[in-house]
A and B are shown apart, each in its own frame.
Chain A
Amino acid sequence: MTAPREPGWQRLDPRMLAVTPLRQLVGFLPFIVVVLVIGIGQDLGGRLYGLLTGVLIVLLAGMLRWFTTRFRITSDRVELRSGLLFRSARSVPRDRIRSVDVTAGLAHRLFRLSVVKIGTGERTDSGESRELTLDAISSVEADRVRQRLLDPADAAQVESSGVTVAPAANELAALKWSWLRFAPLTTSSLVALGAVAGTFGQLISDVGADAVDVGGVRERLTTAPLWLGLAVLAMLVLMVALVGSVLIFVESWWGFRLVREPGGTLRIRRGLLTTRSVSLEERRLRGIAVVEPPLLRVGRGARTVAVATGLGGRRGHGRGILLPPAPRSEAHRVSGAVLCEYPSPTAAALLRHPPVALRRRVVRATLPVLAGSVGLWVAPVPAWTGWAALGLLPVTVLLAVDAYRNLGHALTSRYLVTRYGAGARSTVALQRSGVIGWTVSQSLFQRWAGLVTVTASTAAGHGGYPVIDVPVADGLAIAERAVPGLLVPFLQHDAVVAARTH
């Protein structure tokens, strides 16, 4: 920590002195408006002074943050000190750094600043991710910090003079605007609906109107035919979902590029208003998943998600996303490009699971529905509820058949590939060298059917990826072949046992 070549402590960018108050004022705007509007006719002066002191205190606190915050990057750690009354000092060893993300919101971009988040991927019990945030430094400096922290050679070598010219990066994927057609098929359409409904409700309650009778809607509703009202409502909902999801897509994925940088880093850059840059070290990569949520799957679209360690558990789940919703073939192509495997293991021909797995799924889909229907018929409720419950049967059976058809697995020279899911479908290619253990589980019904579920444990992603419902011998053979030697001491051939006893 006292090596002579190490640069001293640095402050955040002085432009933060302008950005912080600006952002805080914008945040305060609704509050100020409310106080002023409601305050009219009452003690306006008093309110104004109260407001002003409040705003002033917050502004001062924001400025104080700049004066008290210092950081430095040495050859073996990153340190951040901040606070006046409550001092905090954070220090992260360089070899624990798993990710360096750079984001810039509107206010930051106006002043050419960027926020750098240095993640260690630790999973603390409280679920809080131990990140170190530099909010903010100039965008040029941010990029330099990012490159320095992710370059494994940097920690060893003496500080190079000036900015090193980075060698050309290799582009793996870039946005095609035809992918916009997948936007309405994602959950962002629901987000848009929720946002509009929320704002609308807020507006109504703010204006103080009776939500049920705005502008005599009730009267018009009773005179107009019901189907017309429903049709108009449905159209409205559809429009909002469509437009909203397209807007969200454009904001999130504008200028999307996935590149492989020299030094073994995958970098995703995207964003229209807020720009984001996520960097992922390739040596943290344990595999890749092609995920097809139900709607996207209907439109023959898919996402590509990295299975990597140090993404910060469930909270960091979105950080592994390598591709916007895109055609399935593109998702597989990018998977292959990221793994440097052609063709992609995610597109490998998979082995089907035995028909008894289909039987299990159909039974599981049928019995609860039948039991529910019978229950409703016996219970003191109208008989049609029982019939309605029975009407679910085709849906659940279809899902069961789909779940069976999705089951599959394969072993390639370097990857274990498994596919599963009902409605939604996931195809995961896991590095065989990234498997850190096995779990073989068998329920009572699986035992009767002679099946097992073999789960490969890994330090990345969900922590384990299952090969569901395979015959016992096949499941164990997969595990043994995928990681030779690990399972062998615990396996036995039934015939060998028989021979020994003779």
Chain B
Amino acid sequence: MTAPGTQPATSEPLRLRPPRHRVSPRAITWWTTQAALEVAAVLAPLAVAIVVWTEARPWLIPITVVVVVIGLGYLLVMPRWRFRVHRWETTDDAVYTSAGWINQEWRVAPMSRIQTVDTERGPLQQLFGLATVTVTTASAAGALRLAGLDHVVADDLVEQLTETTQATPGDAT
């Protein structure tokens, strides 16, 4: 994999190290609640159908059992897995995040290219004292989202990022 004009590949395999900070541990509760609501949204119509539609019970009940098993698995695995993956870090020059669980994603945006920094707190996040910070650049391909931060940490981060980016001239394109 060496091309003319590029350095020879190093012998040690290169990899991304995880960002320094974890999100708030309360994010596990938040993600679990969200997952529970999603699973409930699927289960509720099934339960109603089982009660109302008696002749369909022979095949509705097995389906419901499968949904319950998958849903419980999702409920238990997803939030913990996410908590291990979701991390963030800022340096003087860049914001670095990792997110996902089955499919994972690492994003880096230089400070000089940041356009806006937003905070967002849904009702569930407010309940658990959490916030999501969204860092957008001029790219249309999507922003960096730091979901499930402690809301105090989030406020400090937004303040710090806003100060840094305001000090940078140019339209960040």
Contact = CB atoms under 8 A, between A and B. Distances in A.
Interface in A435-461: 436-444, 447, 455, 457-460
Interface stretch (A38-46, A145-153, A485-493): A485-493
B105 A436 contact: no
Interface string B104-127: 111111100100000000000000
A491 B91 contact: no
A248 B157 CA distance: 55
Contact of A489 (B6, B91, B102, B172): B91
A53 to B, nearest CB: 48
B109 A462 contact: no
A480 B10 CA distance: 13
Contact of B9 (A438, A474, A487): A474
A302 interface: no
A191 B85 CA distance: 48
A459 B13 contact: no
B139 A351 contact: no
A11 interface: no
Nearest to A310: B173
A411 B5 contact: yes
Interface in B128-143: 137-142
A410 interface: yes
A389 B15 CA distance: 42
B104 A490 contact: no
Residue among B12, B96, B172 with the most chain A CB within 10 A?
B12
A457 B141 contact: yes
A155 B107 CA distance: 39
B139 A459 contact: yes
A483 to B, nearest CB: 8
Given A411-B3, A489-B94, A492-B15, A436 B9 contact: no
B3 A439 contact: no
Contact of B110 (A313, A455, A486): A486
Nearest to B18: A490
A35 interface: no
A436 B172 contact: yes
Contacts of A351: 1, 3
A310 B50 CA distance: 56
Interface string A466-502: 0000011110110011000111011111111000000
A442 B104 contact: yes
B108 A313 contact: no
Contacts of B107: 437-440
Contacts of B173: 309-310, 436, 459-460
Nearest to A96: B171
B108 A437 contact: yes
A476 B11 CA distance: 14
Contact of B17 (A123, A457, A480, A492): A492
A490 B16 contact: yes
A82 B16 CA distance: 56
Contact size class for A?
A: 35 or more
A472 B109 contact: no
A interface majority secondary structure? mixed
Contact of A313 (B13, B15, B103, B140): B140
B140 A123 contact: yes
B14 interface: yes
A287 to B, nearest CB: 13
A186 to B, nearest CB: 26
B96 A490 contact: yes
B7 interface: yes
A481 B106 contact: no
A340 B94 CA distance: 31
Nearest to A447: B104
A439 B94 contact: no
B103 A493 contact: no
A437 B113 contact: yes
Contacts of B89: 490
Contacts of A480: 14
Nearest to B103: A443
Nearest to A450: B13
B5 A412 contact: yes
Given A474-B9, A493-B10, A494-B15, A462 B140 contact: yes
Interface in B59-96: 89, 91, 93-94, 96
B12 A496 contact: yes
B135 to A, nearest CB: 10
B104 A441 contact: yes
Given A439-B142, A493-B14, 16 more contacts: A411-B3, A436-B138, A436-B173, A439-B107, A441-B104, A462-B141, A463-B139, A463-B141, A464-B140, A473-B9, A473-B14, A477-B7, A489-B91, A490-B19, A490-B96, A491-B17
Interface of B: 1, 3, 5-7, 9-17, 19, 89, 91, 93-94, 96, 100, 102-110, 113, 137-142, 172-173
Interface of A: 123, 309-310, 313, 349, 351, 410-413, 436-444, 447, 455, 457-460, 462-464, 471-474, 476-477, 480-481, 485-487, 489-496
Top-8 shortest CB links A-B = A463-B140, A464-B141, A463-B141, A495-B12, A459-B138, A459-B173, A493-B12, A457-B139
29 contacts: A410-B3, A413-B5, A436-B137, A437-B139, A438-B106, A439-B105, A439-B108, A439-B141, A440-B16, A443-B102, A447-B104, A458-B139, A459-B139, A459-B173, A460-B173, A472-B13, A473-B9, A477-B10, A485-B93, A486-B93, A486-B110, A489-B91, A489-B93, A490-B16, A490-B17, A491-B17, A492-B15, A492-B17, A495-B13
